[in-house]
Amino acid sequence: MTARRRSVRAAFAVAVLLPLLAGCGPAAPWAAEPATVVALQARVEPAAVALLEPVTITLDLWTRGGAPVDFAPELPAADFATTRRDEPARPLFDGSWRRTVLVAKPVRGPGELTIPAFIAQLREGAGAASSPPAVVTVRSGLAPDDDAIEAPGEPFPTPPPLWSWLLGGALLAGLGGLWFVARRRRGGFAMAATVAEPPHVRARRELERLRGRSRTTAAEIAAFYVAVSQVLRVYLEDRFGLRAPERTTEEFLRELEAGDALAKAHRADLEAFLSQCDLVKFAAVVPADRDHEATWQLAAAFVEATRPDRAAAAGEATS
């Protein structure tokens, strides 16, 4: 009687545990056995990201009867920083199935980057499988779709005509003369203290100077990114009191995360910008010509979005 009970319990445990164990692994990508000796499927998610945001590329490779296959998926190092994970092979139909996961972070943008076709080639005999190429859209890191920065006006408005500057200068000179005479009549005149130049004005002037620099050699490109990054770091110190120029990006971002000097949206934008500059300075990444202007635009737009008058206008709009 005892042996019979043990047999019944063992059968019950097998019936319960086998479905649970089978559901622990990922679902097979094929509902039916492929007609070829080797089959390959690829899935890219998501199709649109910001700079340095991860894109997951899932590659599923199936071979009949354990046929040896050459399969080494790679991405262009000039476009992506990539890590790879190979999962163990699993039996499926009359063969085996293996999954490879690539996590790729775009290091160039904004614009479209191409995920190339991946090819699995049989080592013996004719036979191969390939996946179609895909396109990933890289958005600007400064203004992601879900948290865009809305400035009160154009970042770089068209300057007024010359006559308006002359008229404004004449009015200012007249007002200054009246103020001077009034001070003298009251019997005293004190030299006005020198008005400090706002941080955003200095930053914009330095950025405009860097915009015209030559960027034809790798050394000139690296010097451009270092200079733009330094301008933004000095601006952050003058504008928010953050000790940025003498600190590494990692140390500075860690301090920034612990404080509340910048809004959360601006912190993400700043991290993406400084990380892009670090890739040029320390990883020897050489961006394309169009990326130089995009980097300059990121820095200039950040300064415009965080200048004191813009920040005050944003606070009144949300109150």
Task: Specify the pLDDT at position 216.
Answer: 85
Would you state the structure tokens that stand for residue 251, as one six-digit string? Answer: 């140390």
DSSP 213: S
Q: What is the SS3 assignment for 73?
A: coil
Task: Specify the pLDDT at position 92.
Answer: 92
Q: Higher pLDDT residue, 232 or 103?
A: 103
Q: Can you tell me the distance from the alpha carbon of 109 to that of 118, in angstroms, rounded to the nearest whole number?
A: 23
Phi, psi of 265 (to 5 degrees): -65, -40
Q: Can you tell me the distance from the alpha carbon of 15 to that of 31, in angstroms, rounded to the nearest whole number?
A: 23
Provide DSSP, 109-127: -SEEEEEPPPEEEESSSS-
| Cβ atoms of residues 210 and 228 within 8 Å | yes
| Cβ atoms of residues 294 and 109 within 8 Å | yes
Instruction: Find all residues with CB under 8 Å of 189, minimum gap 6, and list them.
Output: 180, 183
The string of pLDDT tens digits covering residues 160-183 is 777 777 888 888 888 888 887 777
Chain CA centroid to CA 27, Å: 31
Q: Can you tell me the distance from the alpha carbon of 270 to that of 268, in angstroms, rounded to the nearest whole number?
A: 5
The string of pLDDT tens digits covering residues 15-59 is 444 444 444 567 888 999 999 999 999 999 999 999 889 999 999
Q: Can you tell me the distance from the alpha carbon of 83 to that of 308, in angstroms, rounded to the nearest whole number?
A: 41
Q: Can you tell me the distance from the alpha carbon of 108 to that of 67, in angstroms, rounded to the nearest whole number?
A: 38
Q: Can you tell me the distance from the alpha carbon of 135 to that of 114, in angstroms, rounded to the nearest whole number?
A: 5
High-pLDDT (> 90) share of the chain, %: 30
Q: Higher pLDDT residue, 15 or 240?
A: 240
Q: Higher pLDDT residue, 184 or 235?
A: 235
| Cβ atoms of residues 210 and 296 within 8 Å | yes
Task: Specify the pLDDT at position 248.
Answer: 78
For the chain, what's the residue count? 319
Q: What is the SS3 assignment for 40?
A: strand
* Position 210 pLDDT exceeds 70: yes
Helix and strand numbers, DSSP H then E, in the chain: 8, 11
User: What CATH number labels 24-139?
Assistant: 2.60.40.10
Q: Can you tell me the distance from the alpha carbon of 66 to that of 79, in angstroms, rounded to the nearest whole number?
A: 34
* Position 13 pLDDT exceeds 80: no
Would you state the structure tokens that stand for residue 128, as one six-digit string? Answer: 């191969």
Q: Can you tell me the distance from the alpha carbon of 155 to that of 300, in angstroms, rounded to the nearest whole number?
A: 8
